[in-house]
Structure 1
Amino acid sequence: MQPALTGSRPQSTGSDTRRLRDCLGRFGSGVSTVTYAGDNGFRGITISSFTSVSLDPSLVLISVGRRARACAGLRNASFVVNVLAADQVPLALHFAGRPQSALAVPWLDQDGVPRLDGTVAWLLCRPWRTYEGGDHLLFLGEVQDFAYAPGDPLLFQDGDFRRPGPQIVLPPAPETA
């Protein structure tokens, strides 16, 4: 017998696209801009679907909408996952298709692949595999180099940019005999 569920009832159990998107938006995630060298110079796309896959080999996954121009540029191309800092909202917007006219993109060159300056982390990846995932393409990259720095990452939840809140302090673990 399963225990009864307690707490408030879910807002919706519908299956329409907007409500599903709202449901998925409850999961807060980091914001990254994936950069690569395109035919006409450095390019990038802001994503929130980025995750580690494996430590041996070192693999990460990015998910890019099929209709994005970046899909063609990322096929068989090395790329950098730039984990944006909390103060880099203009960069996130710029590479999400909302150009910021006054923005000077802080490009750096990482072994021939563009990356962004001032991020809290970056991972240089060479292409590993590409998979179809419905209306997205899933690009696996093998990490070739990486670095990280102190600072708050940029987060996205419920359709809004956010920064981390106070740390949740856990009570001490009970001592075992």
Structure 2
Amino acid sequence: MTAMSTPLNPKRLRTVLGEFSTGVTVVTYRDADGQPRGATMNSFTSVSMDPPLVLVSVARRAKACAGLADNEFTVNVLSANQLDVALHFAGKPKNGPISWHEPESGPPRLTGAAAWLQCRPWRTYDGGDHVLVLGQVECHDARRLDPLIFHRGEFRRSGLKLPQLPRTVTFGGAPAGEWVGRVHDLHALSDAGNSGEPLDI
């Protein structure tokens, strides 16, 4: 089967991509005058453990694109109660000041985040209308807070944890299909902890 040659519908593509749920981050840095700045981004991922690298995708037209060029930055993973912070750094200023943490050295970070990763610049790559910015993680921390989630163009909170799903599922007295066994495998991984051995699921 050959790929369709008709042009993609950007609106439809955005809708399809929106089915992939992500966390929400604010990437913070210092501008040329040393002032703390930030931008809300949900295109964030880990890349490598050796060396420890993470990636953020920055729109070329965004001020942060120039601000992050060869600049240290912190990825702040927002908690569920930081919707106003996400909106603030997306261009909808919140009422009241932003609470910053100013370390003795390195980029600023936000207080109240679920996690943060302080990075030094590693590489940048062409990403079409975005720039892919890789940073090497130099220090990090996390708290056990529910994350802010972005799905289908809306901010959301996380839902049920997988281990809370029923261990046995039947439909009309008959056991469910093969997927139930897969769920049990995931429960085993969750209950026992990841030993480093991959499960064939």
Q: Which interval holds the TM-score relative to the shorter structure?
A: 0.7 to 0.9
Tell me how far apart the structure 2 counterparts of residues 137 and 115 of structure 1 sit (CA, whole Å): 22
User: Which position in structure 2 is the counterpart of 1:5?
Assistant: none
Give yes or no for the alignment of 1:93 onto 2:87: yes
User: Which position in structure 1 is the counterpart of 2:96?
Assistant: 103
Between structures 1 and 2, the one with greater strand share: 1
**TM-score, scaled to structure 2:** 0.77
RMSD over aligned Cα atoms? 1.4
Secondary structure of residue in 2 paired with 1:92: helix
User: Which position in structure 2 is the counterpart of 1:34?
Assistant: 27
Of the two structures, which has the highest relative contact order with CA contacts closer than 8 Å and spacing of 6 or more? 1
Tell me how far apart the structure 2 counterparts of residues 158 and 75 of structure 1 sit (CA, whole Å): 30
User: Which position in structure 1 is the counterpart of 2:14?
Assistant: 21
Give yes or no for the alignment of 1:143 onto 2:160: no
Tell me how far apart the structure 1 counterparts of residues 126 and 88 of structure 2 sit (CA, whole Å): 26
Identical amino acids, percent of aligned pairs: 52
Correspondence 1:34-73 to 2 at 5 A: 34-40=27-33, 41-73=35-67
Give yes or no for the alignment of 1:115 onto 2:115: no
User: Which position in structure 1 is the counterpart of 2:162?
Assistant: 168
Deviations 1:108-161 (A, max 9, x none): 113231100010100000000011100000000000000000110100000110
Tell me how far apart the structure 2 counterparts of residues 129 and 98 of structure 1 sit (CA, whole Å): 30
Following TM superposition, the consecutive aligned residue runs of length 4 or more in structure 1 with deviations greater than 3 angstroms are none
Which of 124, 128, 151 does residue 130 from structure 1 map onto? 124
Task: Indicate the structure (1 or 2) with the bigger Cα radius of gyration.
Answer: 2
Between structures 1 and 2, the one with greater helix share: 2
**TM-score, scaled to structure 1:** 0.87
